[in-house]
Amino acid sequence: MSWESKMATLTAVNHRPVRIPVSEIVRYVALAGLGILFVLPFIWMVSTSLKETGQAYRFPPEFIPQPLTIKNYESLWGGPIPFDRFYLNTVIVVIMAEIGTLTSCTFVAYSFARLKWWGREVWFVVLLATMMLPFQVVMIPVYIIFRTLGWLDTLLPLFIPTFFGNPFYIFLMRQFFMGIPRDLEDAARVDGAGSFRILWQIFVPLSKPVLLTVAMFTFVGHWNDFLGPLLYLSSVDNMTISVGLAMFQGRGGANWPALMAAATLATVPILVMFTLFQRYFVKGIVLTGMKG
C-alpha cells in the first residue's frame, strides 16, 4: 500500500462520525438537570442577599438584582442582631471541638487498634453499642449534668464532650489504623520507640485521609449544630450561628435579604473546607470502608 493510500485511509477513519449512545445522552442530561436543581437554592440565596427588601418580593423573580447592593451584609456587623458575636462563638466552638475530637479519638482508636490490654474487645463492643443510642435518649440526663456543673448558658457543653471521644470517629480511625502494616511499628520498636512516639511519628503522618475526614465531619457537625445551642444557651451573646439565624425572623415576618446574607456567610466556611479537602474526604471514606 502506497503512502498516499495509507493517508487516505487514516483520514477516512479520523472523519468517521462518533456515535454517542442515546442512553449516555439521557444520563448526562439528567445529571446536568439534577446538578442545576441542587445548585439553584444556593444561587437564589446569594441573589436574594444582594437585593433590597422590595426586590425580594417581586414577581417574576430576578436572579440578577438591579441594582446590586451589599447593605444586607454591612447590616450584619454592628447591627441590632449581633451576628458578628454569633460567628465568633461558632468559630470558638468548632476550633475547640476539632482539638478535642482529633486528640481523644486518635488516642482511643490507636489503643483499640494496636495496644493489647485486658477486655479490649469487650469494651470495643460496648463502644459500638453506644452508637445505637440517639442523642434524644441521653438528652435529659446530659442536660441535668451540665446544669449541676453550672455550665448552662456557656459554650462549654458544646465542645467539652468532644474531649471524651466520639464512638463513630473512633471506629472510623480504628479501622484505618488496622490497615497500617505492622512491619513499620515493629521496626520502630526495634529502634527503641515507644507507643506514643510510634503513634506520633508513624500513624499520624500515614493517617491524613482519615484525620481530615474526621476533622471535616466535626467541622460540619458543630458548625450546623442547632439542637445543642438551643438546649444549653439562653442569652443572645452566647448564641451560635444556627440558633442566631432564627432571630432574623420576627413576629412581623422575616427580613429575607438580611436572612439570606447571614445564611450565605454561614454557608461559605463549609463550602471552602469541602473544596480544599474533598480529595482527602473521598479517599478517607473509600479506605475506611475497605479496611477490615
Q: Report residue 267 as a C-alpha cell.
A: 454557608
User: In angstroms, rounded to a whole number, what is the distance separating the alpha carbons of residues 232 and 239?
Assistant: 9
Residue 189 banded pLDDT, cuts 50, 70, 90: confident
Helix (H) or strand (E) holding 274: helix 256-290
Q: Is 2 exposed, middle or buried (0-12, 13-18, 19+ CB in 10 A)?
A: exposed
Least trusted range by pLDDT, from 218-222, 244-248, 249-253: 249-253
CB 255 within 8 A of CB 76: no
Task: Give the CATH class of 82-290.
Answer: mainly alpha
Which range among 72-86, 95-109, 166-180, 205-219 shows the weakest confidence by mean pLDDT? Answer: 72-86
Could you tell me the CA-to-CA distances from 156 to 97, 197, 199, 230 in Å, in that order?
A: 10, 31, 29, 14
How large is the C-alpha radius of gyration of the chain? Answer: 27
Read off the amino acid at residue 265.
L
Predicted structure pTM score: 0.81
How far, in Å, CA of 3 to CA of 209, rounded? 55
Ordered by start, the domain boundaries in the chain are: 3-73, 82-290
Residue 213's pLDDT band (boundaries 50, 70, 90)?
confident
Helix axes 83-113, 167-178, angle to 10 degrees: 50
- Taking each continuous run of H as one helix and of E as one strand, the counts in the chain are 15, 2
Give the three cell numbers for residue 156.
Answer: 462549654
13: amino acid identity, one letter? V
Q: Are 153 and 235 in contact (CB under 8 A)?
A: yes
C-alpha cell of residue 92: 470558638
User: Would you call 249 helix, strand, or coil by DSSP?
Assistant: strand
Average pLDDT over residues 134-146: 89
Kindly give, in sequence order, each residue whose CB lies less than 8 Å from that of residue 286, ignoring residues fewer than 6 positions away. Answer: none
Going by C-alpha positions, the residue among 47, 279, 276, 129 that lies closest to residue 287 is 279
pLDDT surpasses 60 at 236: yes
Does residue 235 have a pLDDT over 50? yes
Identify the band that residue 157 occupies on the pLDDT scale cut at 50, 70 and 90: very high
Mean pLDDT of 13-37: 75
Q: Are 211 and 102 in contact (CB under 8 A)?
A: yes
In this structure, which amino acid lies at residue 254?
A: A
